[in-house]
Amino acid sequence: MVSTWLADALQYELWVVSDGSIANDIYFSDIAWPIRKILHWKGLRDEKRDLCSRLNRSTADLGQEIYWRAEAVYDMLSETLTKDEVYLFGNSPKDVDALVLGHALFVLNVLPETSVLRATLQKHARLVKYAEHHLFVLLGVPSGSFSRTLPYVAYDLCVMSGQVHCEHYIDLKVYKLKYHMLVPKVVLVGLDEDGCNPLPGETEDPKSFTIASERCKKCIRTMLKGLVINEALQICFEDFTEDNIVLTETGKVKFKNVTIISCLRRGPEFKRRLHRNFKCAANIIRDLFKLITPTGIQYNIPEDILHLLNVIEREFESRSMFPVHASLVPLTQCSFFFQKMYETIRSVLSFEEFRAILDKLPYVDGWKKKVMNNALLSYPINRRPESYEVPQNKPDQRNLNKYQKGCLNDLGINPPRNQSVLSNEQEEMIKQLRLIDYWRNRTVHRMEPYRSYTKESTEEGEDAPRNAPYKAEGSELVNYVRFPMAPTYLQWELIKRREADGHVVWESFF
């Protein structure tokens, strides 16, 4: 069927349906024009006559019969090709693999987009992925849906083929020296290139803290994404180090001089090698935060990045989430990232799940004190202070007041009629509720104090303009340094709960 039905369909597309340009390029490109025209006419006549005779169909009915047969073969092959199989039959290549691969690659890469046969094949995702996988393994050439992602792993082939130049890429070691990969200490001194205060609203000098720069985040994210793509291609690398990492001018990671391991079935050995690749990436990430001091080597790894390293080591089954870890979200997207998680937690999860998330919420104790020494972060509280208070019990109270009942209702708790005061446990839950509501409200009001904040002139000189204009990212930064693990905690609590699946498209924030 492969050597007859699919061959007939291909010949029909080349000679009968198309404009003849592909057949001319294949068979007659080196022949003078008049002879080429005659030979093409003769080939078209002979092919039509041969197909009609062999299939016992008229020219008008020929296309319908041929495309029906081709789709039947594609259906059969697609069903034969299970998810974890590299080859059509068994664990080793056979003649039929060569026939199918040659046919599929020709159809996908040579026939025009208007081709009916190409559209028919593209409906069979397993066959398309099968062809693309073997094209990459055998030739290192991208095709179809992987063409945009392949540069993460095929850097050497690109260089050898002359498609790119080496000077367009920077070794990771050089890149770390050229650009700041981390910000070990942010102080209230100077403005950024746009004349904005990078750490706005601070009423006192902040303590030292370490954060990953935006370039650092992108480096980590694209390196992990490349390994996830490898799994889709069903390949992995031998162990690699930072010597095997280069970056584009835009900060995307590519691998060089790595040994590609292919033709492994999805199983324990493939999984073990893949995990080793992620561990190699974790070692490179850890070294991004290495500082050499007179007293020795120090690792100033931010708390949320440390969480990412831990899940790479211990929660390998969640590897598809590594490139979209909350610690890697750009500052420009942090507000939308948190709002989407908050909406999912409040509207999708049950009240029991919501309370379970609140029960282990970090930073509950003393959170108000942390935000009140910043003019931007304290704005929502100063605007409506009662919204962030825990309603207190009164000594002579006989029934829960309206405000207390409203708080319990927000938590999905229906108190008994005879309850007179809030229990200690309920007060703690309301305290947790106030914090998560504050995080949500802060994102909504982050730019509201801009006019009142910037209209006051500063007398501290140009080097420390506390009232200089600020960006939305500045508001996100002052919040991050106080609550670095908040987005990470909420993200992984959602990942654990299947009810939230599909409600947050994590990739949309990168």
Q: Is residue 206 pLDDT above 80, yes or no?
A: no
Q: Is 166 left (phi over 0), alpha (psi -120 to 50) or beta?
A: alpha
Quick: pLDDT tens for 404-435: 999 999 999 999 888 999 999 999 999 999 99
Rg of the chain over CA atoms, in angstroms? 31
Q: Is residue 303 pLDDT above 70, yes or no?
A: yes
Q: To the nearest 10°, report the CA torsion of 83, 86, 89, 92.
A: -150
The β-bridge partners of 416 are: none
Q: Show me where the domains of the chain are located.
A: 5-150, 169-328, 331-454+466-501
For residues 311-329, give the mean pLDDT.
94
The β-bridge partners of 290 are: 299
Q: By the 8 A CB rule, do 20 and 44 touch?
A: yes
What percent of the chain is modeled with pLDDT above 90?
31
Cα separation of 308 and 325, whole Å?
7
Q: By the 8 A CB rule, do 478 and 377 touch?
A: yes
pLDDT for 282 equals 96
Q: How many residues does the chain have?
A: 510
Q: By the 8 A CB rule, do 151 and 254 touch?
A: yes
Average pLDDT of the chain to the nearest whole number: 80
Cα separation of 108 and 53, whole Å?
28
The token pair that represents 156 in the structure block: 């050497």
Q: Is residue 305 pLDDT above 70, yes or no?
A: yes
Q: Determine the residue type at 66.
A: I
pLDDT for 355 equals 96
Quick: pLDDT tens for 439-477: 999 988 888 776 666 555 444 444 444 556 677 888 898
Quick: pLDDT tens for 139-179: 555 444 444 344 344 444 444 343 444 446 788 888 887 77
pLDDT for 157 equals 44
Q: Determine the residue type at 160.
A: M
Give residue for tokens 């929502």: 380
pLDDT level of residue 359 (50, 70, 90 thresholds): very high
Of the options 1.20.1290.10, 2.60.40.10, 3.30.565.10, 1.10.510.10, the CATH number for the domain spanning 169-328? 1.10.510.10
Q: Which residue has the higher pLDDT, 208 or 349?
A: 349
Backbone angles phi, psi at 419, to 5 degrees: -75, 130
